[in-house]
A and B are shown apart, each in its own frame.
Chain A
């Protein structure tokens, strides 16, 4: 019963996403799912470690290009491609993590953005012989159909992405309740005390960095498989703030923030770009407004209201269900 109480929120959220699939066109639903995986990494960094990263596209590109290289040059099984993307994410974040996590929060953000730009130029110009520069790598037709879930078909890809996202959410939920999650949060709030208690704040940050960026790389790998092509545009500096914006929009550090943020952001992008033509204007002002209004985001504002209503219905005052701090 206790387990159910903890998980009802998660199940509810995913029931809503499944509903989204029924009512909205498939590309839109796929976009939302992948984008929320993308945002989860950033959300973990910002909400749990207190590190803001303007360079998430760098890790997205690492995953996407690792997958693309495999699918373009070596093999044609999308599952193996995604696996390679994730491995690349782990390797890259372990390689640069020790260097990055010892920086102060503000320098961390700046260095990450610089990394994203470097990877952009690396893929666009320096490695143009392998990556085909701005033309990108196309491998949509070379992917073989796989048994059980055929990733080369968008409708089956959605089910796969849905399952992956659900597993990730469960994983982050588990992390939040574990000692490691508590340590992460403690590092954000008071690093000195964490050190005093005998934990290595460096190790905690490093592992959180690796976890978050591997998640991002996974999102990149899934983008690659879903779109069937990868171009340097994926890590363009102009899109560097997307995950941060979505994280803020949804609510920093909340579990459901990424999904709410992704739905709203993708929706706004689709609707507003048809009506207005330049949706950055609205996104920018919404971002400033949310920050000035107390940086709680959409989910952070809605959560207490929902909880109150829910408690009133069940009449259970001690219910901690769906709590995500």
Chain B
């Protein structure tokens, strides 16, 4: 059996990984729910977040400032891409948006390679401290990530349920034409959602950067995991995204404790199993193109 201490640190590791996955996939999920697009370029904002964190922390010396910069630049990049590309293709079918956003992703990775080069860069961990939980040494930074992910979930929940814009977004998820009929500018809603999504992806990249090294293909490396989270949770469901991201995080972490290559294989097995039972994922509904 696995050592108790190893198990606890494994669970914490899985939770923090799940937090990162959650921050990344929530953007994809929101975009699908409201605009019915699959925006693979969220992974670009994730890479941008990581790189801005690296550059700012190198220049200023404060990593949190870098993460903040990552969020802002990620959001701005999302705004630009939305204005230039996505605005024209909202009414196209899903595979079309998927290909287009993939083009944006590859192009963006090319831009990153142009600015920062091909070499992976290390980002220092902002909090070195360790705490003891039931006799196990846990890095505080991982707990901070879990906390931030929880805060973001609460924040998104409050935003969608308590503010008028959030309510409009939720209504738009149900029926966008009625919302338009009420005199709400849905394209502004689309822009807001897209920028929020981009900012959250940037946050995920910034927070993940100290744990891994930033390199130009970092977005493509997590691509498969993000897909798995989205598929297991069901596209367009925020609760499903939360549940499945922590599920995948745990499976990756605990799986790697039992047998290292299992970490990459186990989520796929779970995904196939869930798709066999429910072809739209755990919480996904039969949302089709309007």
* A and B associate in one complex: yes
Interface size on B, residues (CB 8 A): 46
A residues 43-94 with Cβ under 8 Å of B?
46, 50-52, 54
**With A and B bound together, what is the CA distance between A50 and B94 in angstroms?**
11
| Selected interface stretch from A156-164, A262-270, A283-291, A301-309 | A283-291
Inter-chain contacts of A286 with B (CB < 8 A): 103
Chain B contact surface mostly: helix
Q: Mark A279-321, 1 if CB is under 8 A from B, else 0.
A: 1111111111001100100000000000000000000000000
Kindly provide the distance from the CB of B108 to the nearest chain A CB, expressed in whole angstroms. 7
Residues of chain A contacted by B224 (CB below 8 angstroms): 113-114, 116-118, 237
Given contact pairs A113-B227, A280-B110, A291 touches B261 in the complex (Cβ within 8 A): no
Residues B64-117 near A (CB distance < 8 A):
85, 88-89, 93-96, 98-100, 102-111, 113-114
Q: How large is the interface on A (under 10, 10 to 19, 20 to 34, 35 or more residues)?
A: 35 or more
Judged by a CB distance under 8 angstroms, whether B231 is at the interface is yes
| Chain A, Cβ-Cβ closest to B44 | A284
List of A residues within 8 angstroms of B96 by Cβ: 291, 295
The answer to whether A238 and B264 touch across the interface, beta carbons within 8 angstroms, is no
Q: B107 contacts A113, CB within 8 Å?
A: no
Interchain CB contact under 8 A, B99 and A248:
yes
- Give complex CA distance A50, B93 in Å: 11
Q: Let me know if B98 and A99 touch, CB within 8 A.
A: no
B104 contacts A107, CB within 8 Å? no
**B260 interfacial by beta-carbon distance below 8 Å:** yes
Cα A103 to Cα B271 with chains together (Å): 13
* Interface segment, one of B169-177, B196-204, B205-213, B215-223: B215-223
In the complex, residue of chain B having the shortest beta-carbon distance to the beta carbon of A126: B261
- Report whether A287 and B99 are in contact in the complex, using a CB–CB cutoff of 8 Å: yes
Most chain-A Cβ atoms within 10 A of its Cβ — which of B107, B108, B109, B265?
A: B107
Q: Is the pair B113, A292 in contact by a Cβ cutoff of 8 Å?
A: no
Q: Does B146 contact A (CB under 8 A)?
A: no
Quick check: B106 and A114 within 8 Å, CB to CB? no
Instruction: Please tell me which one of the listed residues B38, B103, B111, B235 contacts residue A287 in the complex, with CB atoms under 8 A apart.
Output: B103
Please tell me if the beta carbons of B100 and A288 are within 8 angstroms of each other in the complex: yes
Residues of B within 8 A of A (CB): 38, 85, 88-89, 93-96, 98-100, 102-111, 113-114, 217, 220-221, 223-224, 227-228, 230-231, 235, 260-261, 264-265, 268, 271-272, 275-276, 279-281, 288
**Chain A residues within CB distance 8 Å of chain B:** 46, 50-52, 54, 99, 102-107, 109-111, 113-118, 121-122, 125-126, 237-238, 241, 244-245, 248, 277-288, 291-292, 295
